[in-house]
Amino acid sequence: MARQKVTAAPSIRRLPSYLQIIRQYQNEGNTYISGTVIAQELHLEPIQVRKDLAITSIVGKPKKGYPIEELIAAIEHFLGWDKMQPAILVGAGNLGTALAGYREFKLHGLNICAAFDQDPEKAGKNIHGVPVYRPEHIPEQVKKLNAAIAILTVPSSDAQAIANDLVEAGITAIWNFTNAKLKVPDHIIVQQEDLTSGYAMLCVMINLRENDNT
């Protein structure tokens, strides 16, 4: 099941943006919001927004739209953001430190409880309030924290070996920020976050805009 392609992936990726617009609208004192309003804010087609929201099982009301409180609850429940997920971070370098300090994670139910790094000078210290341990302490901390999620920000050359240790320790979901394509058992979920691909897309869009202006 974990290996099956998530057919609703594009819709899922859009839901956080919807949530931001909906909350802004709520802060302005509104109790309902239409799919058309969301679509206009994000330059999408209203039918696309309605299809995306349908995966949360929320139903809008004719001529009124969606009740905002119910819509927020439906999106957060669908995304699993209505419950706190304890997680560990492996790799306390620049990227790992930045992720540990990203406050939005806790608002979305992700609580980084512990970090691990091979650098002996980092062990025993804290990054943004997160205690840092040596990698050999991963099994005991995973068990102690009841963590199922690991965020991987180690050098790509070390990623597979660390992933093997994480699986053995009981981690069942890995958010992989390395370039390594991890080989893990079928029951392990891996989300690959390819920052290079994102940068490549940005560069192409810049080049296209410059070509259009010449």
Name the nearest CA neighbour of 89 among 55, 64, 114.
Answer: 114
What was the pLDDT predicted at 4?
A: 40
CATH of the domain at 43: 1.10.10.10
Asked, for residue 202, whether it belongs to a domain, the answer is no
Strand pairing class (85-90; 110-116): parallel
What was the pLDDT predicted at 7?
A: 54
Asked, for residue 140, whether it belongs to a domain, the answer is yes
Q: How many domains does the chain have?
A: 2
CA distances from 48 to 14, 45, 170 (A): 10, 5, 39
CATH of the domain at 114: 3.40.50.720
Asked, for residue 146, whether it belongs to a domain, the answer is yes
What was the pLDDT predicted at 63?
A: 86
Classified as helix, coil or strand, 114 is strand
Residue type, 130: V
- Contact 109/144 with Cβ under 8 angstroms? no
Sequence-distant (6+) residues with CB within 8 A of 90 are 96, 115, 116, 117, 135, 138, 150, 151, 152, 153, 154, 162, 166
Residues with pLDDT less than 50, the chain: 1-5
**33 beta partners:** 66
Alpha-helical regions (H) of 28-67: 35-42, 46-54
Token digits of residue 158:
């070390």
Instruction: For residues 67 and 110, state if they share a domain.
Output: no
Token digits of residue 2:
């974990």
What was the pLDDT predicted at 209?
A: 85
What was the pLDDT predicted at 1?
A: 38
Which range of residues forms the domain containing residue 46?
Answer: 9-79
Sequence-distant (6+) residues with CB within 8 A of 190 are 173, 174, 176, 182, 184
Token digits of residue 16:
């956080």
Classified as helix, coil or strand, 47 is helix
Instruction: For residues 113 and 192, state if they share a domain.
Output: yes
CA within 13 Å, CB half, 57? 6
- Measured in degrees and rounded to the nearest 5, phi and psi for residue 11 equal -65, -45
Token digits of residue 156:
């790509």
Instruction: For residues 91 and 46, state if they share a domain.
Output: no
Asked, for residue 145, whether it belongs to a domain, the answer is yes
Instruction: For residues 103 and 69, state if they share a domain.
Output: no
What was the pLDDT predicted at 212?
A: 78
Instruction: For residues 91 and 193, state if they share a domain.
Output: yes
